[in-house]
Amino acid sequence: MTRTASAKRKRAEREALKADTSNKRTKSEDPKAYFVKKAFVENSTGADRVREAKLYELLGSEDIEDRVAAAEAIVSSLLDDEGVPEAVLQKHLDWRLFRGLASGRAGARLGYSVVISEILRQLFGDESLSESKYPGLTFEKVLEILQERTKPLGNITGQEERDCYFGQLFGLECIIRANVVRRDAERWMAVLHALIKLATKKVWLRPQCGWVITQALSFGSISKEATHETIKALQAAKWAKTPEGVAIWVVALDQYPNLEDEGVRNPLDPRNASDLPAILKESVKDDAEAEENNETVKMKQAVWTHQLHFVWSSILGHYIAGEDNNSKQFAAFWKRAVDENFFSKSATEGQKLRGFLVLQEVLSTPDLEDTSYPVSVSAACEWLFPIVFSKNLMACLMNQAANEDRYLHRVACKTLSLVEKVAIGHPELAGLVVENLTGNNGVYSFDVRTGQKTVENILQQIRPDVGEDLIGVLSAPVMKTCTKGKDLDKVKLDLRVYVEYLFKLANSAPEPALQELTSLAYANPIWIPSNASDFVKDLSRTRLQSVFANLSRKDDSSTFLFKAVEGINPDYIPMDDKLKKAVTEARKKLKALSKQAGDGSKESRTRETDAARGLALLYAIAIFQIYNAEPDAFQLLGDLEEYQTRSSTDGEGAAEFLIEILLSMVSQESVLLRQVSQEVFGCFTNVVTPKALDLLLDVLPADENTKGQQSLFNLESDDIDPEDLEEEDEEDEEDDDVQIIEDDDLDSDEIGSDIEFVTLNGEPVDEDADNDDDNDNDSSKSSSDASDEEEEAEEEPSENAKNLEAIDLALGKILNSHRLDKDKEAADSDSDADMTDSEMLAMDEALANVFKQRVKSKPSQKKERKAAKESVINFKRRVLDLLLIFVKNEASRPLALSLLLPLLRLMRATTVKSLSDRALETIREYQRRLRRARAAAAGGEEEVEGKKKKAKAPETVDAEATLQLLKDIHAEAASVEANDVAKAAASASLIAASTLYMADAASRPAVEAEFEKLEPPAGAEAGAKAKGKSKGKGKRRKQKQGGEVDMPLAFKQWKQSFESKA
C-alpha cells in the first residue's frame, strides 16, 4: 500500500469519526460501547470503522483503565473464536500496531505494546497460531514489518526520528517479553542483531538497547549456548569495554557461572579490572584502534545527567546476591571504581555527581522484605555500608552539603536525606548508619560539619528499643577521645556533642537516654578526665532540665521523670546529714506518690491520681533541684510538707499555699519549672478557691516596669531610683506601639487607617464629646502615678544626686576649685600661678576619667530597667498560661467568671501585644469550653480530663455579683475603642450574661435591661451619619478597619437559641 492510499484511508477515518461524533454524540460519551467483542472486518465502513478508530484512540489514552480495556477488546476482536483472516491481522499489525509504536502520544507505546506482546505470544508461543492459522505471518515476516514501519524516512524532524527509533526499541522488547525467543536461538540472535544495529543509530540508544538485552538474559529464558553466542556477538560489536557490556557480562555470568571457564572474561574479577574504572566513568574509547591512535571519541553518556546507568544495578545486585562473602571483593571494587575514581582530586563535578548517584543507588537497595536474594539484605548491609561510606566520598559529601554555593549542594543534601530515610525506615540499620556518619570516615560532630540535621533527625525518630544500641555507638568515639586524647578543647567539644546527641535521643528513647544523662550529670564515669568532669556535669544537668521540660508536655511522660530522679544515687551528691535525711524522706514519698499516680494514661486518670501525680512532680523537682544545688530547693521540700499537712487536716489556705508555691516556681527563668508548674496546676484546678485564684489575678495589674517588678517580687526600695522610674516611664512612651501624631501636622483626609490619634501624654484621643469623663479619669490616673513617684523621690535620696555630688568633689580636687555655694567651706588658694603644659595634660586625663565613669553608669541602668520590664512581662505570660489551664478544666464553675474583668483590664493597659493576644485567647477558650460543658450537662454528663462522666449538681451563682460583673464589662468596653478589646469584651459579656440568665430566672429582666442600654436610641443612626460627615474620614476609616461588635445582637441570638432548646 502506498503512502497516498494510507493518507486517504486515515482521512476517511477522521471524517467518519467527525460525522459520527457530530450526529450521535451524547453529553457523557461512554467508551464501554466500543468494548464489545466483535471481530474486525477487512474493509470496515460506517459504524465498524468508527469503532475500530475509537478503540485504537483509547489504546493510546493516558487513562490506564481505558487503555487496558481497549487492549482486551482489540485482542479479542482479532484472535478470539476463529480469529480474523490473515490479511486482516497482517493489516492491523502493519498499519495499526507497529506504526502506533512510533506515535508521540503519552500512553500510545504502553497500550500498543500490550496488544503486540499478546498477539506475538499467541502467534509464536505455546499456541503457535502462525503455524496453524496464519502460515504467512512468520517470525521473520513480523520482524521485517516492525523494522519497516519504525524506520525514519524522508525529511522529518528530530522528534519524529526519536519516536521511530523508540518505537522499534519497544517492538523488539515486545518480542522478548512475549517469551517467543526461548525456544529458538535463531529468533533470539535475529532480535539481538536488530538491537545491536539500532544501538549504532544514536549514542543515547546504546544504554536503552543494552538494558533490553540485559533483561532478556536475566529472565533466564536464553539458553547457555545462546548466551555464549550473545557474548561473542557483542564482543565483535566492540561492546566489551562499555558500561552496557559490563552489565551484560555480569548478568550472563550470574546466570551461567561456568561461562567463565569457556573463555568469557569476568569484568569484576580483580585480575581483569584494570579498565573497569574508566569504563564505569564512561570515558573509555570505543575500540583499541582509537586508543592506539589517541583519537578523541564521544562520551557514552552526558556527564551531567541525573539518571544513573543501569550497570550499577547489575553490579550491586551481583555483590548483594552472592552466596559467598563478597565484602573483600566489593571493598576493592568500590575503592577502585568509586572512591578513587569519582571522588579523586582530579574528578570533575559531573563525575562527583555520578558518584553521589551511585551512593543513592546503594542506599535504595536495602529492601528487607525482598526474599528474592539468597542472603539477608540486612546482613549484607552490615558489611556493605562501612565500605560505601568511604574516605574520599565522605569528605566530598560533607564539603558539598556544608556550602550552599557548591554545585552539588542539592544532590549532597538529597543523599543525606536518603541516608536519614534508610536509618529511620530500617531501625536495625540505624546504629550502622550513625556509626559511619560519626565515626570511621565521618566526623563525630557530623551535623555541625555539614550544617544539616541528619544525625539529629535519626536520633529523634528511631524506635525506643534501639536506643541502647545507639548510645553504645555514640559513646565509643567520645570514650576513645577522652582516654587517648591530650587536647582538652577537643575532649570538651566531643563531650558537648555527645550530651547533645543524648538530648536529641531522649525524644524517641527517653529511658536509656535519661539513664545515660543522669550518669554523666551525677556519677563519675572513669573514662571522663578529671579536668573535664565539672564541665560535663554542668552541661548534662542543664540538658537534663531541658529533657524533663520537653517530656513534661506529654501526658504520660511524668513516669520518666520519676524514674530518672529515683535512679540517681544520692551518694554521688555531697550533702550534710540534715539534707540527706530530708532527701531520703522525700524519695520515699515520691515513690509512694508515683505508685499512686499510676501510668499517667488518660484512661486511668482520676481526680485522686491527678493529685498524687501533681505532688509527685513537685517532689521530683524539689529533689532534682537539691541534687543540682539550686537555691531554695530545701525550702520547697518544707513547703510541700506544709501543704500536705494542711490538705490532710482540712486546714484553711491549702489551695492558696499551693498557688504561692507555683507562683514562686513560674517566677524563675526556667523552662522546666514553667512546664512542671503548668502540669501541677492542671492537676489541682478543681480545688482552687477564690482567694487562691486572686493570687494569680493580682499579678495582671502590675506595672510593666521597675516599679511593677518591685511590687511583684518584694524588692527593697533602696535598690530603686525614683529618677530611673521617671526615665523608664518616658522610655515606655517611646516604645509604645501607638504612633503619636499631632492634629495640626496632618489633615484628616491624608491619615491612613492604621494610625491612631493620641494626646501629647500618649493617651488615645477620643473624638466623641461624650467620653470626656474618661479622659479626666485617665488624667487623674497619670497625675496620681506622677505624685507617687514624687513621694518616692522625697522619701529616698536620689542616687543621681549622689553621683553629681561625687563628680563635684572629684572636679574640685582636680581643678583646685569649688562651687559658688561652697565658698565658706573652701580653703583659701595660696597660688594663682599658671599651670605648665604637663600639668594641663594630666588635668585633661583626670577629667576624662571622671566623665567616663559617669557615662558608664547610664547604660547599665538602662539594661536593668529593660530586664525589669522583661521579667514582669514574662511573669504575666506564665500566669496567663495558668489561667488558660484553669478555664480549660473549670469553665463550668462560676468561679471562672472572676477572670473576665482582670483580663479585659490587662488588654487595655498593656503595651505588649503578646500579652493582649494571650488574654484574648483565654477568654475565647473560656467561651468554647463553657459551650461544650453546657452541651454535656444538657445530656446529664460533664467532661473531666477529656472523659465524660455523670454531671454533678451545678454550683450556685451569685446573681448580684454576676450582674455587677456584667455592668463592669460593659463599662470597660465603652472606655476603649481597640478592636481586640471590643471582641474580648463581647465574649466576656456573653459569658457573664448567659451564666446569670441560665442560673437565675429572676435576674433575666435585669440582664436584658443591661443590653438595652447598649442599643442606640431611636433616630441616633441618622444623627450619627450627619455627625460622621462633619468629623471627617479618619473616624470612619478606623471603624471600618476595626469593626464594631454588636453585643446586644449577640445576646439576642444566644437568647433565641437558648429558648428554642428549652
pLDDT (0 to 100) of residue 818: 53
pLDDT (0 to 100) of residue 294: 45
Please state the rounded mean pLDDT for residues 174-178.
91
Cα–Cα distance for residue pair 174/116, rounded to 1 Å: 7
pLDDT (0 to 100) of residue 778: 42
* SS3 category, 651: coil
Residue 368 has pLDDT above 60, yes or no: no
Residue 365 has pLDDT above 50, yes or no: yes
Cα–Cα distance for residue pair 173/200, rounded to 1 Å: 17
End-to-end Cα separation, the chain, in angstroms:
88
Integer CA distances (angstroms), 550 to 602, 608, 609, in order: 19, 25, 22
Residue 563 has pLDDT above 90, yes or no: no
DSSP H helical segments within 568-606, as ranges? 577-597
Please state the rounded mean pLDDT for residues 311-317.
90
Q: Assign 948 a pLDDT band (cuts: 50, 70, 90).
A: low
pLDDT (0 to 100) of residue 651: 60
Q: Which residue has the cell 495558668?
A: 882
Please state the rounded mean pLDDT for residues 929-933.
92
Cα–Cα distance for residue pair 988/980, rounded to 1 Å: 12
- For residue 186 the three cell numbers come to 535463531
pLDDT (0 to 100) of residue 597: 82
pTM summary value: 0.74
Integer CA distances (angstroms), 524 to 189, 486, 498, 577, in order: 75, 19, 16, 22
Integer CA distances (angstroms), 540 to 499, 550, 587, 617, 896, in order: 6, 15, 22, 20, 41
Helical packing angle, 558-567 and 510-522, nearest 10°: 30
What is the residue type of 37?
Answer: K
Q: Which of 130-139, 258-267, 723-732 has the lowest mean pLDDT?
A: 723-732
Q: Are the beta carbons of 224 and 268 closer than 8 angstroms?
A: no
Q: Assign 317 a pLDDT band (cuts: 50, 70, 90).
A: confident
**In 863-955, at which residue ranges do the beta strands (DSSP E only) sit?**
941-944, 947-950
Q: What number of CA atoms fall less than 13 Å from residue 1056's CA on the CB side?
A: 5
Mean pLDDT value across the chain:
80
Cα–Cα distance for residue pair 548/506, rounded to 1 Å: 9
Residues 6+ apart with CB under 8 A from 25: none
Q: Are the beta carbons of 75 and 121 closer than 8 angstroms?
A: no
Residue 1030 has pLDDT above 70, yes or no: no
Percentage of the residues of the chain whose pLDDT score is greater than 90: 42
- For residue 64 the three cell numbers come to 490506564
Cα 687 to its chain centre, rounded Å, is 39
Listed ranges 404-418, 586-600, 767-781; the one with the highest mean pLDDT = 404-418
Please state the rounded mean pLDDT for residues 301-315.
76
Please state the rounded mean pLDDT for residues 253-278.
85
Cα–Cα distance for residue pair 310/329, rounded to 1 Å: 20
Q: Which of 458, 255, 459, 243 is nearest to 358 (CA)?
A: 243
Strand duo 941-944 + 947-950: pairing: antiparallel
Q: For 715-763, write each residue's pLDDT tens digit.
A: 654 445 555 545 555 555 444 443 333 333 433 333 333 333 333 233 4
Q: For 531-545, write each residue's pLDDT tens digit.
A: 999 999 999 999 998
Which one has a higher pLDDT value, 684 or 953? 684
Q: For 11-52, write each residue's pLDDT tens digit.
A: 666 666 555 554 444 444 667 778 887 888 888 788 888 888
Q: Which of 250-264, 645-659, 903-917, 939-953 has the lowest mean pLDDT?
A: 939-953
Which one has a higher pLDDT value, 157 or 1020? 157
Q: Are the beta carbons of 143 and 190 closer than 8 angstroms?
A: yes
* SS3 category, 950: strand
Q: What's the DSSP call for residue 374?
A: S
Q: Are the beta carbons of 174 and 120 closer than 8 angstroms?
A: yes
Cα 69 to its chain centre, rounded Å, is 44
Residue 568 has pLDDT above 90, yes or no: no
- For residue 899 the three cell numbers come to 477572670
What is the residue type of 246?
Answer: V
Residue 410 has pLDDT above 90, yes or no: yes
- Overall residue count recorded for the chain in this entry: 1062
Provide φ and ψ at 37, rounded to 5°. Answer: -80, 105
Which one has a higher pLDDT value, 949 or 1042? 949
Which one has a higher pLDDT value, 1025 or 213? 213
Q: What number of CA atoms fall less than 13 Å from residue 67's CA on the CB side?
A: 16
Cα–Cα distance for residue pair 652/637, rounded to 1 Å: 20
Q: Are the beta carbons of 749 and 1033 closer than 8 angstroms?
A: yes
pLDDT (0 to 100) of residue 856: 60
Cα–Cα distance for residue pair 304/411, rounded to 1 Å: 12
Residue 816 has pLDDT above 70, yes or no: no
Q: DSSP secondary structure string, 698-750?
A: TTTTS-SSHHHHHHHHT--GGG--HHHHHHHHHHHHHH-SSPP--TTTS-GGG
Which one has a higher pLDDT value, 287 or 447? 447
DSSP H helical segments within 462-509, as ranges? 467-484, 488-505
Cα–Cα distance for residue pair 927/931, rounded to 1 Å: 6
Residues 6+ apart with CB under 8 A from 589: 615, 619
Dihedral sign computed on CA atoms, order 220, 225, 230, 235: positive
Provide φ and ψ at 823, rounded to 5°. Answer: -60, -40
Q: DSSP secondary structure string, 6-26?
A: HHHHHHHHHHHHHHHHHHH--
In sequence order, the β-bridge partners of residue 950 are 941
Long-range residue pairs from 1053-1056, CB within 8 A, at least 24 positions apart, any chain: 1054/990, 1054/993, 1054/994, 1055/997
Cα–Cα distance for residue pair 175/221, rounded to 1 Å: 13
pLDDT (0 to 100) of residue 290: 42
* SS3 category, 764: strand
**For residue 795, how many other CB atoms are within 10 A of its CB?**
9
Angle in degrees, CA 27, 32, 34, rounded to 5: 100
Residue 580 has pLDDT above 80, yes or no: yes
Rg (C-alpha) for the chain, rounded Å, is: 43
Residue 812 has pLDDT above 60, yes or no: yes
Q: Which of 65-74, 250-259, 302-311, 342-351 has the lowest mean pLDDT?
A: 302-311
Q: What's the DSSP call for residue 604?
A: G
